[in-house]
């Protein structure tokens, strides 16, 4: 008997092929829109392995609906704030994620947001699309250059480092705040200096968030933190929405406590705080960090590799600590 695998959202066929090649017969959701919660609770019944997307909340209720035979939840994402890891641990359920394969794609988006917001690119594009008359002018739509400015990275994991590399290539210098030490070779290559959180806030011209979303990072960026930033500084978030108190961000922008923000993720995704929508000093994109065809294939394949390993009583490749 092969393990019963339920893939709870539509994933690239490359991932399903990995499962099928391994002799597994995944029951896979094939629609683009997510399953309703009710349907999800039904579909997971009797599953031994769940392959999940970041839009699905994996909590005690879902784990209990699956049943005691559930062995693992393989998330097709590097972030796993959609999963109650403690509830999984309590039931002996392994959790895996997909680190590494989306590092470059996400760092590209962080750099894109840095350039878009500092150089007012989305605002400029809106002028043209609105057919507003415009003309090159010495003082027209001036932005802020990034060369010789300071990038402050919050969370110097793989994506933070990859973003720092890109920013360094644009002439930025790098400071970071991180729980963990980074490889000294990488720190030297980047000329990156580890600083305290408040120093990062007070010194950076661009603050870019790359830490995980959990209880300890919820609203890490709030009113007090925006007050500590330079009035000329920008905030970039490609990590997870709840790390930023979105209303406090709107207030900080309104009060001109910071100069702008580039956001790929939102506190109450897919809802976006109305206070952000009509502001020209923010760039808003719909959670596109890992959204390239090759990256999504690689994510689905890695999640599937984890599922295959678990189905065969082997250690998964990328378990969540
Ligand atoms: C995407 O947001 C991910 O966490 O993989």
- Whether residue 251 is predicted with pLDDT greater than 80 in this model: the reply is yes
- Whether residue 136 is predicted with pLDDT greater than 60 in this model: the reply is yes
Task: Out of 61, 218, 269, 279, pick the active-site residue.
Answer: 269
> Are residues 81 and 107 both part of a single domain?
no
> Are residues 92 and 159 both part of a single domain?
no
Nearest to 247 by CA among 212, 274, 227: 274
> Are residues 120 and 215 both part of a single domain?
yes
- Whether residue 90 is predicted with pLDDT greater than 60 in this model: the reply is yes
Provide the CB-side half-sphere exposure for 235 (13 A, CA). 34
**Ligand 1 atom closest to Cα of residue 76:** 5
- Whether residue 321 is predicted with pLDDT greater than 80 in this model: the reply is no
> Are residues 123 and 88 both part of a single domain?
no
Calculate how far, in angstroms, residue 129's C-alpha sits from the geometric centre of ligand 1.
Answer: 31
Give the number of residues written for the chain: 321
The encoded tokens of residue 25 equal 């017969």
> pLDDT tens-digit profile of 146-196?
999 999 999 999 999 999 999 999 999 999 999 988 999 999 999 999 999
Q: What is the pTM of this model?
A: 0.96
Q: How far apart are CA 185 and CA 23, in angstroms?
A: 43
Is 319 a domain residue?
no
Is 320 a domain residue?
no
Is 321 a domain residue?
no
Calculate how far, in angstroms, residue 79's C-alpha sits from the geometric centre of ligand 1.
Answer: 5
Q: Can you give the pLDDT at residue 1?
A: 56
Helices within the chain (DSSP H only): 13-21, 37-43, 60-66, 85-90, 103-118, 121-129, 158-169, 184-190, 197-203, 223-228, 246-254, 274-277, 293-311
> Are residues 128 and 154 both part of a single domain?
yes
How sure is the predictor about 34, in pLDDT bands with cuts at 50, 70 and 90? confident
- Whether residue 247 is predicted with pLDDT greater than 60 in this model: the reply is yes
Domain containing residue 32: 5-101+293-311
204-223: b (≥16 Cβ within 10 Å) or e: bbbbbbbbbbeeebeebbbe
Q: Count the neighbouring beta carbons within 10 Å of the beta carbon of residue 34.
A: 15
Task: Out of 166, 240, 246, 267, pick the active-site residue.
Answer: 240
User: Are 251 and 276 in contact, with CB atoms under 8 Å apart?
Assistant: no
Q: How far apart are CA 219 and CA 221, in angstroms?
A: 5
Is 316 a domain residue?
no
The number of folded domains in the chain is 2
Q: How far apart are CA 261 and CA 110, in angstroms?
A: 11
Is 318 a domain residue?
no
Beta bridge partners of 175: 152, 193
Q: How far apart are CA 257 and CA 251, in angstroms?
A: 8
Active site residue 269: yes
The percent of residues in the chain predicted with pLDDT above 70, rounded, is: 99
Calculate how far, in angstroms, residue 70's C-alpha sits from the geometric centre of ligand 1.
Answer: 24
> Are residues 204 and 307 both part of a single domain?
no
**Ligand 1 atom closest to Cα of residue 97:** 5
> Are residues 266 and 143 both part of a single domain?
yes
Nearest to 171 by CA among 205, 120, 124, 209: 205
The encoded tokens of residue 69 equal 């035979």
> Are residues 70 and 97 both part of a single domain?
yes
**Mutation to probe ligand 1, out of 52, 54, 99, 302 (largest number of atoms < 8 A from CB):** 54
Q: Can you give the pLDDT at residue 181?
A: 85
Three-state DSSP state, 225: helix
> Are residues 249 and 307 both part of a single domain?
no
Active site residue 240: yes
Average pLDDT, the chain: 97
Q: Which residues have CB under 6 Å of ligand 1?
A: 54, 77-79, 102, 289-290
Active site residue 314: no
Is 274 a domain residue?
yes
Q: CB-based contacts of 220: which residues, under 8 Å, 6+ apart?
A: 154, 209, 211, 243, 244
**Ligand 1 atom closest to Cα of residue 265:** 2
> Are residues 186 and 272 both part of a single domain?
yes
- Whether residue 3 is predicted with pLDDT greater than 90 in this model: the reply is no
> pLDDT tens-digit profile of 40-69?
999 999 999 999 999 999 999 999 999 999
Is 270 a domain residue?
yes
Calculate how far, in angstroms, residue 132's C-alpha sits from the geometric centre of ligand 1.
Answer: 37
The percent of residues in the chain predicted with pLDDT above 90, rounded, is: 96
Nearest protein CA to atom 3 of ligand 1, as residue = 77
Is 217 a domain residue?
yes
Mean pLDDT, residues 29-41 taken together: 92
How sure is the predictor about 275, in pLDDT bands with cuts at 50, 70 and 90? very high
> Are residues 81 and 182 both part of a single domain?
no
Calculate how far, in angstroms, residue 290's C-alpha sits from the geometric centre of ligand 1.
Answer: 6
User: Are 201 and 224 in contact, with CB atoms under 8 Å apart?
Assistant: no
> Are residues 110 and 210 both part of a single domain?
yes
Q: Count the neighbouring beta carbons within 10 Å of the beta carbon of residue 268.
A: 10
Mean pLDDT, residues 98-109 taken together: 98
How sure is the predictor about 81, in pLDDT bands with cuts at 50, 70 and 90? very high
The encoded tokens of residue 109 equal 């988006």
Q: How far apart are CA 229 and CA 219, in angstroms?
A: 15
What is the CATH classification number for the domain harbouring 38? 3.40.50.720
**Mutation to probe ligand 1, out of 55, 82, 97, 102 (largest number of atoms < 8 A from CB):** 102
Nearest to 98 by CA among 299, 308, 310: 299
How sure is the predictor about 243, in pLDDT bands with cuts at 50, 70 and 90? very high
Calculate how far, in angstroms, residue 318's C-alpha sits from the geometric centre of ligand 1.
Answer: 14
Nearest to 77 by CA among 253, 242, 299: 299
The torsion defined by the Cα of 217, 182, 210 and 145, in degrees rounded to 10, comes to: 130
**Mutation to probe ligand 1, out of 106, 239, 302 (largest number of atoms < 8 A from CB):** 106
The encoded tokens of residue 72 equal 């693992």
Nearest protein CA to atom 5 of ligand 1, as residue = 77
């Amino acid at each position: 008997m092969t393990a019963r695998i339920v893939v709870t959202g539509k994933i690239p066929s490359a991932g399903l092929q990995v499962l099928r090649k391994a002799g597994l017969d995944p029951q896979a959701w094939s629609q683009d829109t997510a399953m309703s919660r009710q349907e999800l609770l039904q579909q997971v019944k009797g599953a031994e392995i769940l392959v999940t997307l970041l839009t699905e909340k994996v909590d005690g209720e879902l784990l209990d609906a699956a049943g005691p035979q559930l062995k693992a939840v393989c998330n097709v994402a590097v972030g796993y704030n959609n999963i109650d890891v403690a509830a999984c641990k309590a039931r002996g359920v392994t959790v895996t994620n997909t680190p590494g394969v989306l590092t470059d794609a996400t760092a590209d988006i962080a750099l894109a947001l840095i350039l878009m917001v500092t150089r007012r690119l989305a605002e400029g594009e809106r002028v043209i699309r609105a057919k507003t008359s415009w003309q090159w002018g010495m003082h027209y739509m001036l932005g802020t250059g990034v060369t010789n400015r300071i990038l402050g990275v919050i969370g110097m994991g793989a994506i933070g480092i990859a973003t720092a590399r890109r920013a360094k290539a644009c002439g930025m210098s790098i400071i970071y705040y991180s729980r963990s030490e980074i490889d000294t070779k990488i720190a030297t290559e980047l000329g990156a200096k580890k600083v305290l959180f408040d120093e990062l806030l007070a010194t950076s011209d661009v603050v870019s968030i790359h830490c995980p979303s959990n209880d300890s990072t919820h609203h890490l960026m709030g009113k007090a933190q925006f007050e500590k930033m330079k009035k000329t500084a920008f905030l970039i978030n490609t990590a997870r929405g709840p790390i930023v108190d979105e209303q406090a961000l709107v207030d900080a922008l309104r009060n001109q406590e910071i100069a702008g923000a580039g956001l790929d993720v939102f506190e109450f995704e897919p809802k976006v705080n109305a206070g952000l929508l009509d502001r020209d000093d923010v760039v808003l994109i719909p959670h596109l960090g890992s959204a390239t065809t090759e990256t999504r294939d690689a994510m689905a394949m890695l999640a599937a590799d984890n599922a295959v390993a678990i189905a065969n009583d082997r250690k998964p490749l990328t378990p969540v600590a």
